[in-house]
Amino acid sequence: MRERLIWLVVAAMVLILAVLPLAISLDSAFRAETRFGLADRHSLDAFLDVFTGEEYLDALWQTILISTAVTVLCLVFGVIAAVLIARTDLPGKSALDLMVVMPMFLSPFTGLISWVALGSAKTGFLNNGLHALLAPLGIDLPPLMDVWTYGGTIWVMFLFFMPFVYLFTLGSLRSMDGALEEAARSVGASPIGALIRVTLPLCLPSILASGLVVFALTAETYTIPGEIGNYAGFTVLSWQIFLDATGANVHQAHAASAALMLVLVVVAALILQRRITRKSSRYVTVSGKGFSGRRLELGSWRWAAFGLVVLYIMFATVLPFAALLLSSFLRNSTAVVTMDMLTTEHYRQFFSNQDSYKALTNTLFLAVGSAAICVAAGFVISIADLRYSSFATRMVAMLSAIPVAVPGLVYGIGILWLSLKSPLYGTVWVLLGAYIAKFVPFGVMMSRGGLQQIHSDLDGSARMSGASPIQAMWYVTLPLMRMTLISSAFCIMLLCIKELSASAMLYTARSEVLSVLTWHYMDSGNTQFAAVVGVIQTVMMLGIVIGLRAAFGVKLERTMGRGGA
């Protein structure tokens, strides 16, 4: 009875948090609207207005253009970086491996704050630094870049989403048997020819899967294109959904219909990815044995390739964090930085402000609570599906994975409307439910991967010795999966700390978190306070990564890379 009770609690949680909000969101697309919200009767008015209206179709087109551009850039540079790290004699690969994935441990919106400081046309550090260097020579160039443009949106999202492609591709390259590549070289193929004609086709499923992840993340992100689009004069679908769902004039049915449109875009990308992957399966004959072949010698291109990787690290990690840190100490935005412009007053105000303290404690509570619940639920779902497989366990495992294929914005809408008439509305518990719904698939996938490496005979031996299922799990399976569960918990904590999409829709004054605080300061033009919160948020995430390495010797980037493969 205890085992069944645990299973039923987890199954109910999946149904309530992962399925019900999605059902509510999609049902709302086909309801009539009133001035006060949704009517009881169904209607196609909002659905037809969204799917045929010029405003929404233009936003859809902008979403597809930006998502495609970001995905292509990430695929090109991510695959190149992975090949250089995994297959060549590139110098300093151990250090570069960690530095390339560092943007994953930062918030993309924090990256926008950094690049506002770096790349604004009039006050950007890069533009003014270049002007200061060239002015004595009598050279007056226009600004090097302007982040408040269409291209600035693509640039910022490319920098912070590229590591997904890198990790997925790197994991596939490292787990691949190099026999076919060596065979191609033995019959006269050049190293690059063998790489293009043999190695990369074997990696195609992982590469395309990473492309799908980047496309979906870009399509659902509304903070970066929303902030820049207000200045540059364009609107993406995710930003329009956010305005419809939370603006002064709420249009719930329109928001739900636009969310359905966004789901269809992601599903179309998923179908395309699977069709291409199915065709590529004819290349896959040997995999999973680990690469042990010869490294590709770069020769005279060795240091040029090293410079390319370092250049990305500079733009995605070093410069953004340096600009963020400097901005947090400035009294106000300025083109010229002098010592009298520096102050610690912003930090003093942050730590003495009650709202900031509440946002900090809420963030820590949600990160720890979500990680604990997602890991525990993921472990129970995985062990039930793999060790006690039935139709019910398989169904729950499948339903728990739905949030991976559905933009988080859609879940935010469903949970918002689900909680409106409940006593939980406006509390931190609503955010906790949203985080669990969004990140429980990560707990399932990582637990499943670790559990598949443990033979079921070990559990069987314990059961034959008189142990109950819970005792076998507690004394046999859990100790063997300890490092996997620790890694997944810390990965989910990182994701929770930088989560903004659902938080910005569901928060109230009682449930504000650091990411929302950053959004508010940035939206009101107070970039210095936004930078302070961004620094604190980033230090928290880097502390988790460094602490995990020091305490347990676990490298999160390797764990995430294996998950991608």
Q: What is each CA distance from 61 to 53, 64, 75, 212, in whole angstroms?
A: 12, 5, 21, 18
Contacts of 359 (CB under 8 A, 6+ apart): 512, 513, 514, 516, 517, 533
Domains contained in the chain, CATH given: 1-23+344-565 (1.10.3720.10), 50-320 (1.10.3720.10)
What digits encode the pLDDT tens for the residues 126-163? 888 887 777 777 777 777 788 999 999 999 999 999 98
User: What is the pLDDT averaged over residues 416-424?
Assistant: 78
Confidence band of 89 (pLDDT split at 50, 70, 90): confident
Provide DSSP, 453-477.
Answer: TS-HHHHHHHHHTT--HHHHIIIII
Percent of the chain with pLDDT over 90: 13
pLDDT in tens, 199-246: 777 777 778 878 888 888 898 888 899 889 988 889 999 899 888 887
Helix (H) or strand (E) holding 541: helix 527-552
**Token code pair at residue 559:** 């764990």
Banded pLDDT at 560 (limits 50, 70, 90): low
Would the pLDDT of 19 be above 90?
no
Q: In this predicted structure, what is the pLDDT of residue 458?
A: 62
CB contact at 8 A, 388 and 518: no
Query: What is the pTM for the complete model shown?
Result: 0.81
Check if the beta carbon of residue 240 is closer than 8 Å to that of residue 219.
Answer: no
Q: How far apart are CA 435 and CA 369, in angstroms?
A: 9
